Amino acid sequence: MLGALIIVFREVIEAGIIVGIILAVTRGVARSRLWISVGVVAGVLGASLVAAFAGALANALEGVGQEVFNGSILAFAVVMLAWHNIWMATHGRQMAAEARQLGEEVRSGARSLAALAIVVGVAVMREGSEIALFLYGLAAAGGSDAPSLIIGGLLGLIAGSAVSALTFFGLVAIPQRHLFRVTTILITFLAAGLAAQSVAFFQQAGLVVALSETAWDTSNILSDTSLFGRVLHTLIGYSDQPSMLQVMVYIATLAAIFGLSKAFSSRGGAGSRVAKSASASSNAHAA
């Protein structure tokens, strides 16, 4: 029962913290709840599909389909988060200049909401497919301990939801005028963490072999399987044994999103050219 509780709990907090942050980011925005609900439902459906076709997925693309799939959807989520931040930086400035208020209209960008709904969907799909597979395994195995495992799973779900809710309420307790700044930083670190995870899948597939040495080992100090380590892993991408490439991609993603947001938010007439060259050079660094 404890095993089931732990597995469900940690998958739920990984997806739940992301949902909590995005709920806080879009608080007060018209239709944001609807978009996020769409993301969650799509994620659950996607998770069932991924679980059902896990075997086919693993065998696709000469046996690395699963890694390519996971790595790609994570990379896609990073792009969506980056785009959201840059969009906010651009329009936040624009609207503040026009209306002199950083209020509701600023955060009512429907396209940006769609991007966040995709991020929610991807998070729920990844973690949900693990729960689905695990529960399917339980159901297939049967046995007398199945009821206690299901109770464990339910308790894990409740505990995970509670941690996610804490994230949300913790964030919304931040005064409104600071919330935007805090969530922008949170989303940037979230994106960098997802980018580093994405790299790990491509390395596992053997598609990326460079810089696979371990950068550091802090598993004795703070294991990323502990509760606190897990939360940090989701929030800022903490890993106790990252590869060199993961660390580099992490830093590059942080620099790219912060840099681009800054470039776009301060662009005037000539500034857009600066922003373009900044994006070109950050691409060159990523390559």
Residues lying near another protein in the complex (CB under 8 A) are found at 3, 7, 51, 54-55, 58-59, 63-64, 66-67, 129-130, 133-134, 136-137, 140-141, 200, 203-206, 209, 212-213, 219, 224-225, 240-241, 243
CB of 228 to another protein, least distance (A): 16
Q: Which residues have C-beta within 8 Å of that of residue 185, sequence separation ≥ 6? A: none
CB of 57 to another protein, least distance (A): 8
Which residue's CB is nearer to another protein, number 40 or number 149?
149
Single out the residue of 272, 255, 109 nearest to residue 192, CA to CA: 255
Which residue's CB is nearer to another protein, number 141 or number 286?
141
CB of 40 to another protein, least distance (A): 22
Distance, in Å, from the CA atom of 197 to the CA atom of 4, rounded to the nearest integer, reads 24
Distance, in Å, from the CA atom of 267 to the CA atom of 250, rounded to the nearest integer, reads 26
Other Cβ atoms within 10 Å of 41 Cβ, number:
13
CA-to-CA separations, 37 to 1, 18, 81, in angstroms, rounded: 30, 13, 18
Q: How many residues does the chain have?
A: 287
Distance, in Å, from the CA atom of 72 to the CA atom of 63, rounded to the nearest integer, reads 15
CA-to-CA separations, 224 to 41, 134, 155, 245, in angstroms, rounded: 28, 21, 22, 18
Which residue's CB is nearer to another protein, number 58 or number 166?
58
Which residue's CB is nearer to another protein, number 117 or number 205?
205
Distance, in Å, from the CA atom of 149 to the CA atom of 156, rounded to the nearest integer, reads 10
CB of 75 to another protein, least distance (A): 17
Ranges of beta strands (E only) in 227-272 are none
CB of 60 to another protein, least distance (A): 11
Which residue's CB is nearer to another protein, number 112 or number 239?
239
CB of 23 to another protein, least distance (A): 28
Which residue's CB is nearer to another protein, number 34 or number 210?
210
